[in-house]
Amino acid sequence: MKHLYSLLAALSITASLQSQSADPDIQKYLSMISGGEITRVREALPSLLSRYPNNPGVLYVQGMATGEGAEAVRVYQSIVDNFPKSEWADDALYKVYQFYYSIGLYRTAELKMNQLRKDYPDSRYVAGNEEVDTKPLAEELTQPTKDPTPSDAVLPGAIPSTPKPAEQDGQFTLQVGAYSTQVNAEKQKLFFEDLGYSVEVINKVKNGRSLFLVHVGSYTTYDSAKEKGAELKRTYNIDSIVVSR
């Protein structure tokens, strides 16, 4: 009987350890994020990271739940660097590509996309695979001679998953970028158009320097434009200023 109790105790401990080491349901947390339950995911993250500190799936959830683009991209890059054979490595690398493309560092973004094609040729994010809409990947990028400097691309941000249509027929708009080259302004314009916004590029000369300003949306009142700008900042970490049309 004593041996039986010992055996049952050992089995209980083994089952407990197996339960603790079992992989977490990553898809559940990603579904919660896509369903707008990001706060609940953020509340669960400390426990997840404590139990699974080296789980690339948990790190990917952390990146998805991180609101600030630069911090999120550091998490994604750590997955690529430390867990290159993980099922989440290509997802993380694609997020890194998206980040650099969104802030106007097109040459860096192209390097990341080339790495994705080379290291993960079967990834659903590679142009030609059918599991995902690859329109933004299939297009050839017309590269500037250099990456935009901070004065060229002044507004960092991340690519949002859901477009937010802007108001129409108003006297106010949101300025989301000021570029010294038209090609970079046009790329930013394309970025917002792909998200469903009305966008225009305005060329102005200030102190002898030509600037290309990217304006997003049209709002009937200053307050409504300000509110939309706050929403962009809160949801996507994209800065903007309200200007008159």
pLDDT tens, position by position, 11-32: 454 444 444 446 788 889 888 8
Give the model's confidence band at 127: pLDDT under 50 very low, under 70 low, under 90 confident, else very high: low
CA contacts within 13 A on the Cβ side of 108: 15
Token duo for residue 20: 């603790």
Give the model's confidence band at 154: pLDDT under 50 very low, under 70 low, under 90 confident, else very high: very low
Q: Start-end ranges of CATH 1.25.40.10 in the chain?
A: 2-138
Over residues 179-193, the mean pLDDT reads: 81
Sign of CA dihedral 83, 84, 87, 89: positive
Residue 193 phi, psi dihedral angles, 5° rounding: -60, -40
- pLDDT value at position 1? 55
Sign of CA dihedral 210, 216, 218, 222: negative
Question: At residue 103, does pLDDT exceed 90?
Answer: no
Q: Start-end ranges of CATH 3.30.70.1070 in the chain?
A: 172-244
- pLDDT value at position 159? 39
Question: At residue 46, does pLDDT exceed 50?
Answer: yes
pLDDT mean across residues, the chain: 74
The residue ranking higher by pLDDT, 8 or 87, is 87
Classify residue 166 by its DSSP letter: P
Fold observed for domain 172-244: Alpha-Beta Plaits (3.30.70)
Question: At residue 10, does pLDDT exceed 60?
Answer: no
Fold observed for domain 2-138: 1.25.40
- Which spans in the chain are helix H? 2-21, 26-34, 38-51, 56-65, 69-82, 89-102, 106-119, 135-138, 182-194, 222-236
Q: Is 37 helix (H, G, I), strand (E, B) or coil?
A: coil
Q: What is the pTM of this model?
A: 0.49
With contact defined as beta carbons under 8 Å apart, do 228 and 173 qualify? Answer: no
CA distance 107 to 97: 10
CA distance 159 to 96: 11
Give the model's confidence band at 230: pLDDT under 50 very low, under 70 low, under 90 confident, else very high: confident
Over residues 100-128, the mean pLDDT reads: 82
Over residues 28-56, the mean pLDDT reads: 89
Instruction: Among 81-85, 121-125, 209-213, 220-224, name the one with the lowest average pLDDT.
Output: 209-213
Question: At residue 192, does pLDDT exceed 80?
Answer: no
Give the model's confidence band at 61: pLDDT under 50 very low, under 70 low, under 90 confident, else very high: very high
